[in-house]
Amino acid sequence: MRRWLMRWWLLPVLLLVVLAQRPLLGPERAAAQLTAAEATPPVAARKPVRLTAHGIERVDDYGWIRDANWREVMADQSRLAPEIRAHVEVENRYSEAALAPLSALRVRLIEEMKGRIEQAETGVPTPDGTYAYWRKFVAGAEHPQLVRGRRDGSAEEVLLDGAAMATGKAYFNFGSTEHSKDHRYFAYLVDETGSESYTLRIRDVGARKDLPETVAEVADLTWAPDSATLFYVRLDSDHRARFVYRHRLGTDPAADQLVFEEKDLGFEVSIYGTRSGRFVMISTGSSDTSETWLIDGAKPESAPAVVVPRAPGLRYFVDDWGDRLVIRTNADGAGDFKVVTAPAAAPGRSNWRDLVPYKEGRQIVSVVAFAGHLASVEREDGLPRLVIYRKSDLAAHVVAVNEEAYALEFGNGYEFDTSTVRYLYSSPAQPQQTIDYDMESRERVLRKQQRIPSGHDPSAYVVRRLFATTADNEQVPVTVLHRKGLQLDGSAPLFLEGYGAYAYVFATPFNSNMLSLVDRGFVYAIAHIRGGLDKGQRWYEAGRRENKVNTFKDFITVAEYLTKAGYSRPGRIVARGDSAGGLLMGAVANMRPDLFAGIIARVPFVDVVNTMLDDTLPLTVSDFPEWGDPSADVETYRRLAGYSPYDNVAAKAYPHMLVTGGIADPRVQYWEPAKWVAKLRAMKTNDARITLIMRMSAGHFGAAGRFEWLEELGLIQAFALDVTGLAGGDARPVSQALGGSAPAAPLSTVVTPSSAGGPRRQQNLP
């Protein structure tokens, strides 16, 4: 699972473009200051390397852009080979020159979006016993404060001040955090390179200082109930999460005991404690197979015990229900999962009993166990819903939602013995609501309504859920947002996004930043293509491995469908895909470049054959279930070579492209976009502008600051306006002509990603 998201929040973080200690295309540097050389598209040196697999020879002209010392470069970007550094810096200078005419528009867009962010923002406190924990931003701060207070609302105290901790650092990001059960300690992860190389630290809350023990290269953590034992997951030398260690407070971390080691390089490990406190659970797995081990919470020194030994194709995920385990699983042909229970003392499959049986067409996305209830997010017809099951009699009810397209997910929570479940709800036109729902009384309490300081009227927009029919008679869902009153005569530009990999569901939450384009006359659409899990496991299987080309064909089908329906026309579409979605962008650019005015490929996975042949890279082995192993058989090799964007660049007219990468990126290494851009520029037969922005001090997720990342978002939107001919003049919102007053622009709730797993070629939603 290669490139995507994190824990419960699942909202993205966009990146700051950092170049030589200054923002790319910053307003302080005018186009007139750029030299003629900087304004000329770079021509990368061609140094052919002949590569052979299965007796088939390929020539890679730009393989030299990969630094042989790449592991060290991820940790310390200054170690990048001089020749390679010179090349990417020339690329950055050219991008700055080529995009400089958009600087004023970018500044306007950034200020629009920034003006809609609540400057002083406080999250909803999450209670745990006598305390509650939350994040807050002080006015103007890029990074949050991690805060706690008494449950009754008194005695607020700052545990960690992210803004102060980030001072003087080129990059800063919090990862996973967790307080001890006695509330005395607060364990947290920080990344100061952008390479997702997190360091574990432990704060003594009362003393207001960190303990001396720290651990580097940590991916995940959880406390044992005794508040003196901390479990954590460490990375190996190739950045794979494989080792679980146990640490006792007050001891030297060098003496920490190895509790679990994952020997299969295709598996990744995470760790968590159950809300009941009865178990610490080690979860390990690939996209096809998983396994869970239990550690007795009351005896943290005890050895882990396996629930069910791994078996090919068996996936299961475990929670504690107080008197038994509750397990979400695909066992017995339940492709979209069912829920079973088992005694913790004898959890083998022979003792599994169906609690929520498998139902075709219903996907059980996640379950959370409470003392008296089970809460489940389920998906039918591609839309999520919250279902509550009472433990005493298994009576079930659905929490109703009445919108055509929306997003719903669990919020954070610590407590087990409660009847309250928190969930987050929004739609493309409706800002996010944080709701506490009483599972017994069915009472809903709105704990927070996302506030847009400049104002927002959901009724000024149209949200549609459409279906595009493919050549093989599948129905691809499409979520559409546009201003009410927009003439659907094909004249509007279209901003179309897709992903289609790793069983990722492209959710449709409120994304107020996108309204900056919508208010200027764009139609915004999401293509829920095969390869994702939007319509269940079958939908995923139909878009991976030997079926991967369906992903690309579906996206093209959606684009064609929307043009025929009057939402836009060929040559007026701007497409965006991130990471594995960047593979989608590269493939459709090769297949149907005529459809697109522009393509935005962020940290794109485009050098598919070379990457999947190299098992020394951090994520290649774990990605074999997704793409196949091209070294194992010639059919897989030919299949990947048949669609790999880098290998299929040809002499043809391409759309304008905006491409990004990050030197410290462990998921999609920087050389993939760099090589692709070099080849595109050498092969294209038209005057398409191909620009590469390489972040020299960040990785896959870019900047973590809540305002910093608007730099890139402003550039993305200015690019979209430019290639569709709407960047001229003052490029202000045209929504007044469409009826009603335009909101100044949207507020997007930005949450820093944690370090925990999930699909790995990450989708960053805007």
Catalytically annotated residues:
579, 665, 700
Burial 145-157 (b: 16+ CB within 10 A, else e): bbbbeeeeeeeee
∠ CA 202-752-196, rounded to 5°: 65
Closest CA to 421 of 390, 449, 384: 390
- How far apart, in whole angstroms, are the C-alpha atoms of residue 127 and residue 680? 53
Helix (H, G, I), strand (E, B) or coil at 339: strand
- How far apart, in whole angstroms, are the C-alpha atoms of residue 451 and residue 449? 6
Is the four-CA dihedral 601, 607, 609, 614 of positive or negative sign?
negative
∠ CA 625-629-632, rounded to 5°: 135
Please list, in sequence order, all residues whose beta carbon lies within 8 angstroms of the beta carbon of residue 334, skipping any fewer than 6 positions away: 358
Cβ atoms of 431 and 747 closer than 8 Å: yes
Closest CA to 125 of 458, 447, 475: 447
Which two tokens mark 580? 């594995």
Please list, in sequence order, all residues whose beta carbon lies within 8 angstroms of the beta carbon of residue 138, skipping any fewer than 6 positions away: 120, 145, 163
Q: For 749, how many CA atoms within 13 A lie in the half-sphere containing its CB?
A: 23
- How far apart, in whole angstroms, are the C-alpha atoms of residue 500 and residue 367? 24
Residue 588 parent element (H or E): helix 580-591
Helix ranges (DSSP H) in 61-218 = 70-75, 82-99, 103-115, 162-166
Which two tokens mark 257? 């005991």
**What is the number of other CB atoms lying within 10 angstroms of the CB of residue 138?**
15
Helix ranges (DSSP H) in 684-729 = 710-723
- Which residue type occupies 89? E
